[in-house]
Structure 1
């Protein structure tokens, strides 16, 4: 656009911000002014200005909501969005449970509309959901859970690489054993992304790499098979072909299989899934993920990068609020 009008990008930005957009009129009329939370000093009772609430749209509250964190500039934000419409209902400059809870409580009776809310496993968001939305089913995002499982597989790969590297000789001259170890290390390097994919996505060359790696490192195959079994259990089609008792029984069978392998890397994963079992199983009741919330995060990233970043924070957040709520 700047080239069409023979204008420098900064010049066009200046004219858009100050004259073409409604930013200054909205500021003057009070249409754009972040709402601030209140902080109360428990000793003196003094009320001070708290964190800014850049988006507060009760009309965007619906039956299915998502809550997620977002880094904008150097600050952390919490975004509450409608999982059906993709519109932001709330954006507050905080990720602390007390402050996020205060912000959500501002919606009052509108919160009664919410039947399901999805989030990651952050303790702060789980606490907020249980306190502010007790009537809603909390669904831990499927993709965050799968990431934990895949990280355990990659941790097994990392351990194997470390063990191999420790057996390399210290001298400059490479022995036959060193060459064999280096070959295995290169092979493991090629498995990095394939370990997070289903087998049908591998190319013929990829299948050869994985078959060779699994043949030489059985523990890696065991870890990969556990991840794929969990992914199969997590498939959305199971909502329609299995009842809740069968789904729960299948999950407990997976627990047993994990314990049977005695892979240390899966212990923390197993502990985490057991701790949040009810919220994970709610996926099969609600069928909801944080996918739209993640897409909003990606769109905000592109939007801000295409508009000169966060040099003018208030204007950037004004436009973000305007476009995404």
Structure 2
């Protein structure tokens, strides 16, 4: 779900850059790409952030941390989606009891519902439809 949002924003950035380039040509003005503080253009930021979004913040390198800050400042929805995915991972990594697992998954599901991200709704529904089987994970 997080990667889907990243790709969507990447296409939007491409469209915006192409429109700006066409406008510059039409007005015969020079077109200058926006270069971010880490040296990336917006397209590069979105392309290179893929690996950042697969990792936990504790595993980020310094350049990935800087890239994540730039990315999340520009795309707050992406930060929300990333936080939701990390929260779900945290549940499975740190819960060893079915009852706590059920409660934490229910709270996570409520956060997903409040955010309104369609891709996460699919994941949340799948978890909800298979609670019994998924909760067995916490026994082992």
Q: Fold-level match, TM-score > 0.5?
A: yes
* Alignment partner of 1:238 out of 95, 99, 109: 95
Alignment check: 8 A CA contact 1:164 1:185 kept: yes
1:244-300 alpha-carbon deviations (Å, 9 max, x no partner): 222211100000101111112212222222222221111011x2xxxxxxxxxxxxx
Which has the larger strand fraction? 1
TM-score, structure 1 normalization: 0.37
Does residue 161 (structure 1) correspond to residue 10 (structure 2)? The answer is yes
Alignment check: 8 A CA contact 2:95 2:138 kept: yes
Does residue 198 (structure 1) correspond to residue 47 (structure 2)? The answer is no
TM-score, structure 2 normalization: 0.82
Q: State the Cα distance separating 1:205 from its structure 2 match.
A: 1.2
1:290-305 pair list within 5 angstroms: none
Q: CA RMSD in A?
A: 2.1
1:113-262 pair list within 5 angstroms: 152-167=1-16, 168-169=18-19, 171=22, 173=25, 175-176=31-32, 179-180=33-34, 183-235=41-93, 237-239=94-96, 243-262=97-116
Flag structure 2 segments of 5+ consecutive residues without an equivalent: none
1:68-83 pair list within 5 angstroms: none
Larger RCO, structures 1/2 (Cα 8 Å, 6+ apart) = 2
Which has the larger helix fraction? 2
Flag structure 1 segments of 5+ consecutive residues without an equivalent: 1-151, 288-325
1:106-162 alpha-carbon deviations (Å, 9 max, x no partner): xxxxxxxxxxxxxxxxxxxxxxxxxxxxxxxxxxxxxxxxxxxxxx11011111112
SS in 2 for 1:161: helix
Alignment check: 8 A CA contact 1:255 1:270 kept: yes
Find the aligned partners of 1:220 and 1:230 in 2 and give their Cα distance: 15
SS in 2 for 1:256: helix
Find the aligned partners of 1:256 and 1:211 in 2 and give their Cα distance: 26
Alignment check: 8 A CA contact 2:91 2:104 kept: yes
